[in-house]
Structure 1
Amino acid sequence: MTSPTIPNMLIPSHASTKYWDRICVVVQQSCFRLLKNQEVQATCFRKSVTISDKAQIASYKVAELIALKQKPHDIAESLILPACLEIVKIMFGNEAQRDVLKIPVSDDTIKRRIIDMLGFIENAVTAKLSTKNFALQIDESTDISGKAQLIGFIRFVDDTEIKNQFLFCKELIGHATGEDIFNSVSSYLEEWKLSWENCAGICTDGAPAMRGSIKGFCSRVKAINSNIVSTHCFLHRESLISKSLPSNLKSVLEQVVHMTGTICNNKKRVYCLKLRTELNFSSQTLLKDIKP
C-alpha cells in the first residue's frame, strides 16, 4: 500500500474527528525525520569519501618522501605514523587523530605506492618522447645480492628546457654481455614505443660489454642507427686516471677530496662557502662596473 493512499483511507473515518490534525502532524514529523536522516547520512558519506581521498593522497606523499630519502618502507608504520599521531593529538585533539589513523602506510602499501608513482613517471616521460630526440646514459652494476642491475637515465629537451630523468632499473638476465644489455634496453624501448631512430647519443663506461668494437652494446646500437654519438662517461675516465696518478699529483688530489668532504659534511660551512663565493662574484662585478 503506497503512502498517498493512506490519507484517502483516513479522511472518511477521521475527517470529522478531533484526531485528524494530530495524525497530520505525526505524518509530517515522520516525513521531516526521514528527510533529516537522509541528509545526515549523505553528509556522513561525503565526509567519509573526502577523508578517504585525503588519506590516499597523504599515503602517496609519505611514499614519495620515503623514496626520495631512500629509507626502508616500514619506517612509515614504525616511526612516521606514530609521530604524526602524537603531534596531531596534541595540536588538534582526538578526532583529528582518528582521521590520521585512516592513512594507509603499511610496508606493502608504501611499496605499491612507489611502484605506482614509477609508472606515472614512465607514462609522463615516454608520452613526451614519442616524437622527440633523446640521449641515454646506461650503466651496469652489481647489487649486494650479486645480481647484475642495469640502470638507465634519459636526457631530452622539453620546450626550451633540458631535462634529465631516471628511466629504468632492470635486472639483467644472463651474463651481462653486450648482447644482454642491448636486448634489455631494446625491450624496454619497444614496451614504451620508443625508437632507436630518435636516439641521438649514448653515454656509458669503458667496459668491454659497453664499448666493445664488435659485440659491445654501443656497436650493436650503431648497427641500427649509425648517427648515434657514443661517449665515454667523464666520471669513469677521471676515476681511471686517478688510479694511475704520480705520487705528487695524487697527494694534491687527496687533499682536495679531504677538504671537499670536510666542507660538504657541515651545512654551516657549505653556507659560508656559498656566501663567500657570491660576495666575491659581486665585488668583482662591482669593480668591473666602476672601472673608467
Structure 2
Amino acid sequence: MTREEPRSRPYTKKKCRQYTMEYLNYGFIPSPKNAQLPMCLICEKMFSNEAMKPSKLLEHWRKTFNFQSFKFHARPTLTTVFSSAAQQVESDGMKASYNISLLIAKTGKPHTIDEELILPAVSEVLHTVLHKPATDIIKKIPLSNTTVQRRIDEMPTDVEDTLYSYLRTVQFLLQQDESTLPGDEALLLAYVRFIKEEKINEKLLFAKPLETDTTERSIFLAVEELFKEKEIPLTNLLAVASDGAPAMVSCHLGFIAYLTEFRSERLSAGCTGGALRNSQTRSSCKALY
C-alpha cells in the first residue's frame, strides 16, 4: 500500500496591473524608471503595482492637490512682499507722527515746530549718523501743521473712549469736587479711582459747568447724564467721596440719596479731606483709598 502524496494547490497567476491612459484622469503619468508604473504629477511619487487601483490613486490625488493648492496660494509673491514692507513702513511712520504730536502738545510748542525743526533734525541724524537716505523716510511721517493739530485733537478722544469702555466692566470710586470759575460760574469735577493690572489708577472723568445751581439734584443729573451717554452702569459705583468741605458734604449726602434710588445696594460714602468716617467704606474701599 502506497502512501498518497499531498495534493498541491492549484497555481494562480498573480494579476499585475498595467499602466493605461485612464490614469491620466487621476493625474498620473508613466514613470520614467518603469513605464508600467504610475507617477504622480504633483509630488512625483511612483506607486507600486498593488497601489494602482483607481480608488487609491484618486484618494492620493485629492489629498496632495488640496495641500499643494493651499501651499501655492499661500506662497509669498513679489506683490505681497513689497506690499507688506510698504505697509510696515507706513504704519511705523503713522506711529511716529502720533508720538511726535504728543511731545509737541506736552511741551506747548507751536505746531509749526515740526516742519521748522523736528523734521530737519531727523533728516540730519539719518543722513549724518545712520548714513541712510532721509527723503523717503521723512515722507512717511506726516507732520504738517494741520496734521499735528488733528492728532492732538484725536488723542484725548481716544483716551476718553478707552476709560469709558473700561468703567463699563469694573467697579470704581467716584470723587466729586466743586470749583468756581471767574464770573462765579460753578464747575463740577469728577474723578474715578479703580484698579487696573493690580495698580490703583485715578483719572479725571469729566469737568462740567453747572448751568442752573449747585444743589444735590443738579449734581446727580450731571453725573447721571454722563453715565447714560457713555453707557456706564450706575451699579458699578462702589463708593462716592467728596472734598470734605461743609457745604459740599451736605450736598454730597443729598447726592447719595438720589443715587441710592437707582441701586439695590446701599452706597458707601466718605470724605477725602480726612479719615473715612464710614466703617463700610473703610473695609470695602481699603485697596482703593
Normalising by the residue count of structure 2, what TM-score does the alignment of the two structures yield? Answer: 0.51
Once the two structures are superposed, residues 71-115 of structure 1 have per-residue CA deviations (whole angstroms, 9 ceiling, x without a partner) of: 346254554434333333322346224422432234543343344
Question: In the alignment, is residue 229 of structure 1 matched against residue 268 of structure 2?
Answer: yes
Question: In the alignment, is residue 166 of structure 1 matched against residue 229 of structure 2?
Answer: no
| Equivalent residue number for residue 155 of structure 2 | 117
| Equivalent residue number for residue 3 of structure 2 | none
| Equivalent residue number for residue 46 of structure 2 | none
Q: Shift in Å at residue 55 of structure 1?
A: 1.3
Once the two structures are superposed, residues 128-170 of structure 1 have per-residue CA deviations (whole angstroms, 9 ceiling, x without a partner) of: 43343210123344568987654433222346x1431424334
Report the structure number with the largest CA radius of gyration: 2
Matched AA of 1:168: L
Question: In the alignment, is residue 86 of structure 1 matched against residue 146 of structure 2?
Answer: no
Q: After superposition, where does 1:39-188 map in structure 2 within 5 Å?
A: 47-67=85-105, 69=106, 71-72=108-109, 74=111, 75-93=113-131, 95-141=133-179, 149-158=187-196, 161-172=198-209, 174-175=211-212, 177-178=214-215, 179-188=217-226
In structure 2, what is the Cα distance between the partners aligned to 1:209 and 1:107?
Answer: 47
Between 1:185-194 and 1:99-108, the stretch displaced more is: 99-108
Q: Shift in Å at residue 70 of structure 1?
A: 5.6
Distance 1:151 1:145, change over 3 A: same
Alignment check: 8 A CA contact 1:157 1:163 kept: yes
In structure 2, what is the Cα distance between the partners aligned to 1:83 and 1:143?
Answer: 42
Q: Counterpart of 2:231 in 1: which secondary structure? A: coil
Matched AA of 1:102: K
Q: Any unmatched runs of 5+ in structure 2?
A: 1-76, 275-289
Distance 1:54 1:182, change over 3 A: same
Distance 1:142 1:199, change over 3 A: same
| Equivalent residue number for residue 281 of structure 1 | none
* Cα-Cα RMSD: 3.9
Alignment check: 8 A CA contact 1:73 1:110 kept: no
In structure 2, what is the Cα distance between the partners aligned to 1:140 and 1:81?
Answer: 44
Alignment check: 8 A CA contact 2:192 2:205 kept: no
Once the two structures are superposed, residues 11-63 of structure 1 have per-residue CA deviations (whole angstroms, 9 ceiling, x without a partner) of: xxxxxxxxxxxxxxxxxxxxxxxxxxx95x87765554333221111112223
Q: Counterpart of 1:92 in 2: which secondary structure? A: coil
Distance 1:220 1:106, change over 3 A: farther
Q: Of the candidates 182, 185, 189, which is equivalent to residue 227 of structure 2?
A: 189
In structure 1, what is the Cα distance between the partners aligned to 2:89 and 2:185?
Answer: 42
Alignment check: 8 A CA contact 1:177 1:209 kept: no
Q: Counterpart of 1:186 in 2: which secondary structure? A: helix
Normalising by the residue count of structure 1, what TM-score does the alignment of the two structures yield? Answer: 0.51
Higher helix share: 1
Q: Counterpart of 1:212 in 2: which secondary structure? A: helix
Alignment check: 8 A CA contact 1:149 1:169 kept: no
| Equivalent residue number for residue 262 of structure 1 | none
Identity of matched residues, %: 29
Q: Any unmatched runs of 5+ in structure 1?
A: 1-37, 236-292
Alignment check: 8 A CA contact 2:191 2:206 kept: no
In structure 2, what is the Cα distance between the partners aligned to 1:77 and 1:142?
Answer: 40
In structure 1, what is the Cα distance between the partners aligned to 2:250 and 2:100?
Answer: 44
Q: Counterpart of 1:234 in 2: which secondary structure? A: coil
In structure 2, what is the Cα distance between the partners aligned to 1:115 and 1:78?
Answer: 21
Alignment check: 8 A CA contact 1:209 1:215 kept: no
Distance 1:98 1:145, change over 3 A: farther
How many residues are treated as equivalent by the alignment? 195
Alignment check: 8 A CA contact 2:94 2:140 kept: no
